[in-house]
Amino acid sequence: MVVWQFIQDQILGMKWLNALIGKGLSAVGLDIAGRMGGSIQFFLYDVIKITVLLCVLIFVISYIQSYFPPERSKRILGRFHGLGANVVSALLGTVTPFCSCSSIPLFIGFTSAGLPVGVTFSFLISSPMVDLGSLVLLMSIFGAKVAVLYVIVGLVIAVIGGAIIERLHMERYVEQFILSASSVDLESPDLTRRERVIYAKEQMQGTFRKVFPYILIGVGIGAVIHNWIPESWIETVLGSGNPLGVVLATLVGVPMYADIFGTIPVAEALLTKGAQLGTVLSFMMAVTTLSLPSLILLRKAVKPKLLGLFIGICVVGIILVGYLFNGLQIFLV
């Protein structure tokens, strides 16, 4: 237990870094207990911590992902049927792209290849919501119990959502050009270890360039919430006194565009200011799973009825998860 607490606090949470930054800012005359000094400390600490974790995670996950190119993933999914296929598809989503927009091209490719639409939707839900990066980052902020339960309920939403779509036979609401697209099943060449390292490095660099602006924005918003917005305001809107806080957080999060790396600093600041855990996680899930740009892209591939069902399943699932975590908060935090 002591060893795990050290890993969570000092390796994943990097609390030593926060203390070091605080000492450095105090040495140059900034009052880190004040609003401005506290904001600068929060900003520097979270940007550096999330950037380090981001680069390490993307490199490791991309290396793993090099063993699962689209052709191989399609063959793996094709071996399973029924609910088992939804489970495997949701699990596969944990080692694929980090944001909803990046997941949609793979979703289209899987659907064009003839995989059941419910199976591909399980992948589409889980990919941005519960990737391995979210597990490690959540552990660094909220602890292992919250992180593991978050991933489990996210996978449950993905499996149930895909199963519902499959049971309702929604294939007819996929655009025809997707269903009639020819699938080229090419064997991916075996990569050497050095080639996999190069691939992982390139993926890390590309994702970092794309994600870093959202990290800056997310941490900036988090710093403002953490040091400038009165705690009473957050408690009134998102605290236990507002039974509709989860619904409000979910609806506010839907049109935004960010990934897990940009939303966690905001979630961390909201929780510190008195927002309930489930309310904060609902906001985070909504932002990462149902961003407006991803819904616009998805509309190109599916008809409005299927798009509406997808949004409805995700929104209801996210809200239920929010209330679940609020009810369990006393045992988790």
CA angle 184, 189, 192 (to 5 degrees): 155
Q: How far apart are CA 29 and CA 128, in angstroms?
A: 42
Separation in Å, CA 40 to CA 9, 32, 148, 319: 21, 8, 31, 33
Token digits of residue 260: 């897990």
User: Which residues have CB under 8 Å from 95's CB, separation 6+?
Assistant: 61, 64, 65, 68, 131, 132
Separation in Å, CA 223 to CA 103, 125, 234, 249: 30, 30, 14, 19
What's residue 41's pLDDT?
Answer: 92
Q: How far apart are CA 90 and CA 156, in angstroms?
A: 9
What's residue 166's pLDDT?
Answer: 92
Amino acid residing at 191: L
The β-bridge partners of 302 are 174
Going residue by residue through the chain, which has 333 residues, state the pLDDT in tens, using 9 for 90 and above.
677 778 777 887 888 999 999 999 999 999 998 889 999 999 999 889 888 887 887 788 778 777 766 666 677 777 777 788 889 888 887 776 556 566 777 787 778 777 889 988 998 888 878 877 777 778 888 888 898 899 899 999 999 999 999 999 898 898 887 766 554 444 455 778 898 899 889 888 887 887 788 788 888 888 888 888 787 777 787 887 788 999 998 988 876 766 667 788 888 888 888 889 999 999 888 888 887 777 887 888 889 999 999 999 999 999 999 999 999 998 887
Domain spans of the chain, in order of start: 2-179+195-332
Q: How far apart are CA 142 and CA 124, in angstroms?
A: 25
CA-wise closest residue to 122 among 69, 174, 159: 159
What's residue 167's pLDDT?
Answer: 92
The β-bridge partners of 174 are 302
What's residue 277's pLDDT?
Answer: 92
Token digits of residue 290: 């149902």
